[in-house]
């Protein structure tokens, strides 16, 4: 109703709004604030007589609303707020807008000091002037307005052959023809949909095909065609991508039409006063300062758009229709590469069916002729959505679940699967003040400025263009793919082994193409921003774990990506900075994991010759760096150490290099702290000790003791395993036990490790892995008794909640509401899409709709998800308190990064916040929350009986041990 009224309001149709209002109550509906806001806006726009306006205001009061609430709770676009105010003042000339509400302060016990005005300090300044940040904002805005950006590929520009020149000319001609053909097909389709007598299943799409200029739809379809890999893509994924691209452009158009951009520009110009080095210091957080500026701006559109998200089904249906137009209209002459063939046109795209488990999935593939033409053209540009690129200015601060990050691109605060809306509803129902800590932590992470380590990038690009190097994680080009064997005759005559060999070649080629393109995207984006400073806006998943929004190139990437990133801000090394660089280097090599920090430092000093040689002659020297765990980050660190050690005063050397501190089996640390498990805490470095404890080696040793006893009793498999039980064999299983790995999954992990041992007899693989996974679980149960008790309590609680028909929810210690998105699904057939290669061939796909809670997934996922939420809480607490101390801080989940100068300070803050977090009554609070949500207040005898067992389970919180959390403060190896 409100949507229809809003359309009529813009057209000034007050009579229709009156009629619709009169229909609400007979229909059992009650007008809400938005309904009155729309009606009053229309009256203001029409300058209606006071009597009519007065009638609506009286109706508003009789329904329990107050005029002030219109301006406090409603969202407005363009000049809607001014029109409502004009209408109100027509009958109440002295009416004044309500003052902005007083800023609410988060009351979390964990952040009392952080939000205390007495301890407030100025926000850290960036090394930019106001003018420079304004220029950065304009560059970012231009990129987002274009919606896509085309950049040069880093692949070596080979001398243009005559074949490439002809192929590029031919492609340009074809693309022009395809553009016209798609445009014609789109217009014909829209005309057909607009005919009232010729309704079809796609008629509902007509309004969505009129939101943008026709040319933009054509551009979207051509972009998807150009990006399609030779191996093809899932029909559902392509349809979703097409629908989403239309939605993204519509959102930008809506923000422009609603005048939101002008307001954002106006506020951003003032907001950067908080960040710029040449402005007056302000004692505000970015979110607080932005909210203050918005309140002062008064009129104009709301920056939170009214809810306009499109359902997944709509996106899919729109994408399927566009894909159908693309397939029908884009053709290529069959003889374009071989003049001896007939010249009839054939579709550029065709479809095949593939089976995944019991699912039949449609795939869309380009015709080999098109793929060959693209390969011959060897084009050297790549096109990305602007949201895939790092930001060229500081991100807009998150102020609510619907506003933050990019200037125009639509970004969700919380990532979740498209068919589930529960997370968004939870966030919107949550009091905004409860989300302040999470929003402020995301803003802190997103405001870290970055730059490119150009010398390392250049070396990586040179190897990338010189056939790659799989050992160094630089994927080779497809020219290096294994050549398939010659297959004579028809496929029906091929032997089974030949078919298998051809399949493996095809699979390897597809994998190589995927890895090569992934590396190409990352390196090309890095090369594009090589001379720029850039930012990564952040959001989070449903557990609260944070991620950079740009998907390809960011600091969560692999060793190659991390090696080419530097902090844009430089800081002097100080008295201990060079030592931390050297310790960090040895940590990256993986050579001295069991040694004390001082021993790692001494070892670095012993091999300085190799370090300097690696820095000076990375590709022609001894190449020591190549044989390490993280070779590219090792090389980057060698170069930094060389520059620092050769400077006149290493302590004064300005370093931009990020030093990492990686959690020591982080999940088990949280379990040990939750259960106050003394032996478990000692195993994961929560207590002071001379050497780092290695929980993986400890478990391997315990398993070996079990094996010896069984071997002495004559157990054959225990005898066979003599000499084969090592840290490497058990590490992955120990690491993932805390994240819910089952015995079946653990057995597969161990079997894979045993396969890597050439001497191990293959006939014993199954029996040995089955035996070992049992012993690993027994060892962990013995070493971490409190951990297993807590894990079992969480698992059983989740099982009973899911069996009662509810999904598992909880709230983190920072106030973030969480719900697990696991449901039993029913198959739904996608709207048929007649993608025809020949007569009678239609394509359908399938997707999942949420239904009842999936008991197995809800049960198995709760322990790891709960620990992940604690892990993210600890990271956010550390980020916020590092901000108060003026540190540069970013994280890769449980791996924390800062300058070498501030490693010691960050270590101290991290330990303090771990102790503070686990000093809270985490399990008791969880129990109380779940009892309140799932058990209390339930009605009906049957329901009470069903929930009695759940109430008993939730009330029986596991007992804790004697571990003293304060010992964490003196732990040397809290980080590994």
Please give the positions annotated as active site: 662, 731, 894
DSSP state string for 348-378? SEEEEEEEETTEEEEEEEE-HHHHHHHHHHT
Q: How far is the C-alpha of 376 from the C-alpha of 387, rounded, in Å? A: 30
CB 257 within 8 A of CB 78: yes
- Tell me how far CA of residue 524 lies from CA of 521, 528, 800, in angstroms: 5, 6, 50
Q: What is the 3-state secondary structure (H, E, C) of 732-762?
A: HHHHHHCCCCCHHHHHHHHHHHHHCCCCCCH
Chain center to CA of 37: 37
Question: What is the DSSP code (8-state) at residue 479?
Answer: G
Q: How far is the C-alpha of 573 from the C-alpha of 126, rounded, in Å? A: 19
Backbone torsions φ then ψ of 448, nearest 5 degrees: -75, 125
Where is 509: in which H helix or E strand?
helix 496-528
Q: What is the 3-state secondary structure (H, E, C) of 909-957?
A: HHHHHHHHHHHCCHHHHHHHHHHHHHCCCCCCHHHHHHHHHHHHHHHCC
- Tell me how far CA of residue 183 lies from CA of 189, 190, 250, 328, 832, in angstroms: 10, 11, 19, 12, 22
DSSP state string for 579-648? HHHHHHHHHHHTS-TTS-HHHHHHHHHHTHHHHHHHHH-TTTS--GGGGSSSHHHHHHHHHHHHHHHTSS
CB 329 within 8 A of CB 184: yes
Backbone torsions φ then ψ of 291, nearest 5 degrees: -60, -40
Rounding to the nearest 10 degrees, give the CA dihedral for residues 14, 18, 23, 26. 160
Q: How far is the C-alpha of 722 from the C-alpha of 743, rounded, in Å? A: 22
CB 532 within 8 A of CB 392: yes
Bridge partners (DSSP) listed for residue 356? 359
Structure tokens at 321: 């229709």
Q: Which residue has the tokens 């220029």?
A: 135
Closest by CA to 864, choosing from 671, 678, 677, 706, is: 671
Q: How far is the C-alpha of 673 from the C-alpha of 665, rounded, in Å? A: 13
* Helices 80-91/50-62 angle, 10° precision: 100
Backbone torsions φ then ψ of 683, nearest 5 degrees: -70, -25
**Residue 840: CB partners within 8 Å, gap ≥ 6?**
none
Backbone torsions φ then ψ of 897, nearest 5 degrees: -120, 140
Q: How far is the C-alpha of 669 from the C-alpha of 913, rounded, in Å? A: 13
At residue 976, the 3 state secondary structure works out as coil
Bridge partners (DSSP) listed for residue 150? 383
Bridge partners (DSSP) listed for residue 405? 396
Chain center to CA of 820: 17
């Amino acid at each position: 109703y409100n949507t229809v009224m809003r359309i009529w309001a813009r057209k000034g149709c007050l009579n229709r709004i009156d009629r619709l209002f009169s229909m609400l109550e007979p229909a059992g509906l009650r007008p809400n604030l938005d309904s009155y806001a729309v009606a009053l806006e229309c009256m203001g726009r029409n300058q209606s007589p006071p009597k009519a306006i007065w009638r609506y205001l009286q109706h508003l009061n009789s329904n329990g609303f107050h005029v002030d609430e219109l301006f406090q709770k409603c969202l407005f676009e363009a000049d809607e707020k001014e029109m409502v105010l004009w209408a109100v003042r027509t009958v109440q000339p002295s009416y004044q807008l309500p003052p902005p509400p007083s800023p609410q302060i988060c009351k979390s016990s964990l952040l009392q000091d952080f939000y205390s005005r007495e301890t407030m300090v100025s926000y850290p300044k960036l090394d930019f002037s106001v003018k420079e940040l304004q220029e950065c904002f304009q560059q970012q805005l231009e990129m987002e307005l274009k919606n896509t950006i085309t950049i040069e590929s880093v692949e070596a520009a080979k001398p243009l052959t005559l074949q490439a020149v002809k192929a590029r000319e031919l492609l340009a001609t074809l693309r022009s023809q395809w553009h016209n053909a798609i445009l014609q097909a789109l217009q014909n389709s829209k005309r057909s949909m607009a005919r009232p007598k010729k309704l079809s299943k796609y008629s509902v799409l007509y309004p969505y095909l009129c939101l943008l200029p026709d040319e933009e739809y054509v551009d979207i379809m051509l972009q998807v065609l150009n990006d399609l890999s030779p191996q093809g893509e899932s029909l559902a994924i392509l349809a979703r991508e097409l629908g989403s691209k239309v939605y993204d452009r519509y959102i930008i158009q809506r923000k422009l039409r609603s005048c939101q951009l002008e307001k954002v520009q106006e506020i951003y110009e003032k907001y950067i006063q908080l960040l710029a080095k040449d402005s007056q210091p302000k004692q505000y957080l970015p979110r607080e300062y932005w909210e203050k500026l918005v309140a002062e701006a008064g009129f104009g559109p709301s920056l939170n758009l009214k809810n306009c998200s499109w359902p997944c089904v709509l996106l899919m249906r729109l994408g399927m229709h566009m894909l159908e137009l693309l397939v029908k209209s884009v053709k290529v002459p069959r003889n374009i590469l071989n003049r001896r063939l007939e010249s009839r046109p054939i579709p550029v795209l065709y479809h095949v069916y593939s089976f995944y488990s019991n699912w039949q999935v449609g795939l869309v593939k380009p015709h080999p002729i098109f793929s060959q033409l693209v390969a011959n053209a060897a084009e050297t540009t790549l096109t990305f959505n602007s949201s895939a690129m790092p930001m060229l200015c500081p991100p807009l601060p998150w102020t609510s679940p619907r506003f933050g990050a990019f200037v125009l691109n639509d970004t969700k605060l919380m990532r979740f699967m498209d068919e589930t809306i529960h997370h968004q509803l939870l966030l919107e129902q949550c009091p905004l003040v409860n989300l302040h800590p999470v929003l402020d932590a995301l803003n802190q992470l997103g405001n870290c400025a970055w730059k490119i380590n150009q010398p390392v990038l250049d070396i990586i690009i040179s190897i990338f263009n010189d056939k790659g190097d799989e050992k160094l994680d630089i994927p080779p080009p497809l020219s290096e793919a294994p050549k398939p064997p010659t297959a004579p005759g028809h496929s029906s005559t091929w032997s089974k082994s030949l078919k298998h060999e051809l399949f493996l070649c095809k699979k390897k080629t597809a994998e190589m193409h995927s890895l090569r393109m992934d590396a190409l995207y990352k390196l090309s984006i890095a090369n594009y921003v090589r001379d720029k400073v850039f930012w990564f806006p952040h959001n989070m998943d449903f557990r609260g774990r944070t991620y950079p929004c740009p998907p390809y190139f960011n600091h969560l990437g692999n060793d190659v990506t991390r090696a080419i990133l530097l902090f844009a801000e430089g800081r002097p090394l100080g008295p201990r900075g060079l030592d931390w660089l050297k310790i960090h280097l040895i940590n990256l090599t993986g050579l001295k994991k069991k040694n004390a920090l001082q021993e790692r430092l001494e070892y670095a000093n012993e091999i300085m010759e190799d370090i300097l040689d690696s820095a000076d002659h990375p590709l022609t020297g001894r190449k020591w760096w190549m044989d390490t765990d993280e070779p590219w980050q090792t090389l980057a660190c060698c170069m930094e150490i060389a520059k620092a050690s050769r400077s006149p005063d290493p302590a004064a050397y300005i370093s931009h290099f990020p030093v990492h501190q990686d959690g020591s089996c982080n999940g088990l640390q949280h379990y040990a702290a939750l259960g106050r498990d003394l032996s478990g805490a000692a195993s994961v470095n929560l207590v002071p000790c001379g050497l780092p404890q290695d929980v993986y080696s400890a478990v391997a040793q315990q398993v070996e003791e079990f094996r010896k006893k069984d071997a002495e009793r004559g157990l054959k498999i225990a005898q066979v395993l003599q000499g084969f039980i090592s840290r490497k064999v058990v590490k992955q299983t120990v690491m993932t036990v805390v994240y819910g790995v089952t015995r079946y999954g653990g057995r597969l992990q161990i079997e894979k490790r045993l396969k890597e041992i050439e001497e191990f007899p293959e006939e014993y693989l199954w029996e040995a892995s089955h035996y070992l996974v049992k012993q690993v679980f027994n060892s962990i149960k013995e070493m971490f008794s409190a951990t297993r008790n807590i894990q079992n309590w969480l698992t059983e609680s989740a099982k009973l909640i899911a069996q009662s028909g509810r999904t598992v929810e909880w709230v983190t210690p920072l106030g973030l509401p969480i719900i697990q998105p696991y449901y039993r699904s029913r198959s739904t057939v996608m709207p048929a899409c007649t993608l025809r290669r020949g007569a009678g061939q239609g394509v359908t796909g399938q997707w999942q709709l949420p239904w009842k809670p999936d008991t197995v997934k809800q049960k198995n996922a709760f322990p790891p998800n709960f620990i992940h939420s604690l892990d993210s809480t600890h990271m956010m607490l550390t980020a916020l308190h590092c901000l108060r101390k003026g540190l540069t801080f970013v994280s890769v989940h449980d791996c924390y990064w800062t300058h070498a100068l501030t490693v010691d300070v960050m270590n101290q803050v991290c330990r303090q916040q771990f102790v503070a977090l686990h000093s809270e009554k985490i399990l008791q609070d969880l129990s109380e929350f779940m009892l309140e949500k799932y058990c209390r207040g339930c009605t009906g005898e049957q329901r009470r009986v069903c929930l009695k067992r759940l109430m008993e389970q939730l009330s029986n919180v596991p007992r804790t041990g004697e571990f003293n959390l304060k010992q964490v403060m003196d732990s040397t190896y809290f980080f590994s």
